[in-house]
Amino acid sequence: MNVIAKELNDTLRGSAAAELLSDMGREMFFPKGIVAQSGEAKQKAYTYNATVGMATHKGGPVFLPSIHKEFNGLDSDAIFPYAPTAGDPKLRQIWKEEMIRKNPKLKNVPLSLPVVTAGLTHGVSIIADLFLDCGDTIIIPDMFWGNYRLIFEVRREAEIASFKFFTKEGTLNIEGLADVIETASGNKIVLIVNFPNNPTGYSPTAAEAEALTELLVKYAEAGKKILVMTDDAYFGLFYKEETCKQSLFAYLADAHSNILAVKGDAATKEELVWGFRVGFLTFGGKGMSENQYEALVKKTMGAIRSSVSNCSRPAQTLLLHGMTSESYAAEKEAAYELLSARYVEVKKTLLKYADNTLLRPMPFNSGYFMAFTCKGSAELLRLYLLDTYGIGTISIQDTYLRIAYSSVDIENIENLYDTLYTAAQEAWN
């Protein structure tokens, strides 16, 4: 094993993280190679800095003015050079401050600094690399983002163990989670939860978040080592009073020394910059020291260095400027209101179809989506909607139809839902 990897593992010894790491996670380190050496040179090389693979001129990057002019006067240094492997330090700091502001439970809880990833997909993939071995089980509620299959099953050869997302009463099926944990062999439990959920659009109530936390703490108390990743892609889009407005990460980051919580989030949807490819990973575990957080950050940096090397500099700069601008808060509120009004319109329209059994909406209170349980073939209906009405939807497991009402203007929502019910009647008659 590389000596730096060994040092990081020594630092982590005694924490749940140490026992949760995969083989790759244990071997992972951030080399004292080009990036580290050029970092050192940046501070100390006062004569010539001939370290990094960039072209420079008079201390700044060489760049093409035809590209620079598109950036509206931004300093070339903030656009063209590589970003640090873990991301722009100012952006990492601001993301953390915002996270604590939005999740007051995190106040005074020691956490790692968020590490910048190339979007949330990349973040999930890194956590899979660091914590899942071939043959390991990852627990996921049965309504999940399809890309998890590629990440966990295809890339990591892990096995997905699912449980029903909802009880018959339409509440979060916490007992179902307990049953899967009970049947899991070994001491290592890995779980990913995604709220607001894709595809159902559901987020737990505060009582459900508490109950979920209590359950995991119970197993941690019994000696299980538990990794919980929260995929907070749609964080903040909560439309109902009773919905829990904080990430489950905020409940788990300081819950028990046998629980390692990882918050995966991204500017992608939270800041409405889908194409920027900026995401974040933040670690929280009760009793973890600053050095242990730093060791996890270093392993994450190794995973970044060996996959995408570092993430987009201009995207990070634009995000930082936007998030610190005066109009930011009001603009975010306006975007929230736009989506929230669409949610209200969907709910209102569905009242007309309360007794219709062809398409039954699953519980939804947040995010971009809602999903129907279909009486007939969801795939047949999807194709029928596309061919007959020019309406695009997503069919899942031939049973569920997912509607991204986030991408339909409010004035078209009633017509969209009327057409969905008409089409279901026609397609399945």
Residues 146-165, one symbol each (x = binds ligand PLP by CB under 6 A, - = not), give --------------------
Residue 231 near ligand PLP by CB under 6 A: yes
* Minimum separation from the CB atom of position 337 to ligand PLP (A): 22
| Residue partners of 47: CB distance under 8 A and separation at least 6 | none
User: Which is nearest to 242 in space by CA: 214, 215, 209?
Assistant: 209
User: Which residue among 233, 252, 346, 371 contacts ligand PLP (CB under 6 A)?
Assistant: 233
User: Which C-beta is closer to ligand PLP: that of 25 or that of 201?
Assistant: 201
User: Which C-beta is closer to ligand PLP: that of 176 or that of 199?
Assistant: 199
Number of residues that bind ligand PLP (CB under 6 A): 11
User: Which C-beta is closer to ligand PLP: that of 137 or that of 230?
Assistant: 230
User: Which C-beta is closer to ligand PLP: that of 55 or that of 154?
Assistant: 154
Window contacting ligand PLP (CB under 6 A); options: 117-125, 299-307, 340-348, 381-389: 117-125
* Minimum separation from the CB atom of position 121 to ligand PLP (A): 3
User: Which is nearest to 300 in space by CA: 40, 69, 29?
Assistant: 29
Site for ligand PLP in 127-146 (CB under 6 A): 145
Residues 277-296, one symbol each (x = binds ligand PLP by CB under 6 A, - = not), give --x-----------------
User: Which residue among 25, 114, 119, 302 contacts ligand PLP (CB under 6 A)?
Assistant: 119
| 194, two tokens | 């995604």
| 359-361, strands of its sheet edge to edge | 359-361, 370-374, 400-403, 394-396
User: Which residue among 18, 79, 111, 120 contacts ligand PLP (CB under 6 A)?
Assistant: 120
User: Which C-beta is closer to ligand PLP: that of 233 or that of 318?
Assistant: 233
Window contacting ligand PLP (CB under 6 A); options: 115-123, 211-219, 349-357, 421-429: 115-123
* Minimum separation from the CB atom of position 120 to ligand PLP (A): 3
**CA–CA distance, 407 with 414 (Å, rounded to integer):** 14
* Minimum separation from the CB atom of position 377 to ligand PLP (A): 24
Site for ligand PLP in 181-210 (CB under 6 A): 194, 198
* Minimum separation from the CB atom of position 197 to ligand PLP (A): 7
* Minimum separation from the CB atom of position 218 to ligand PLP (A): 27
User: Which C-beta is closer to ligand PLP: that of 88 or that of 254?
Assistant: 88
Residues 352-391, one symbol each (x = binds ligand PLP by CB under 6 A, - = not), give ----------------------------------------
**CA–CA distance, 35 with 259 (Å, rounded to integer):** 32
| 254, two tokens | 């300081």
User: Which C-beta is closer to ligand PLP: that of 119 or that of 302?
Assistant: 119
User: Which C-beta is closer to ligand PLP: that of 129 or that of 231?
Assistant: 231
Question: Distances in Å between the alpha carbon of 117 and those of 90, 103, 320?
Answer: 15, 21, 15
Window contacting ligand PLP (CB under 6 A); options: 8-16, 116-124, 125-133, 355-363: 116-124
Question: Distances in Å between the alpha carbon of 243 and those of 191, 196, 202, 262, 374?
Answer: 22, 10, 9, 21, 26
User: Which C-beta is closer to ligand PLP: that of 140 or that of 423?
Assistant: 140
User: Which C-beta is closer to ligand PLP: that of 137 or that of 198?
Assistant: 198
User: Which residue among 266, 296, 358, 371 contacts ligand PLP (CB under 6 A)?
Assistant: 266
**Contacting residues toward ligand PLP, per CB under 6 A:** 119-121, 145, 194, 198, 231, 233, 266, 268, 279
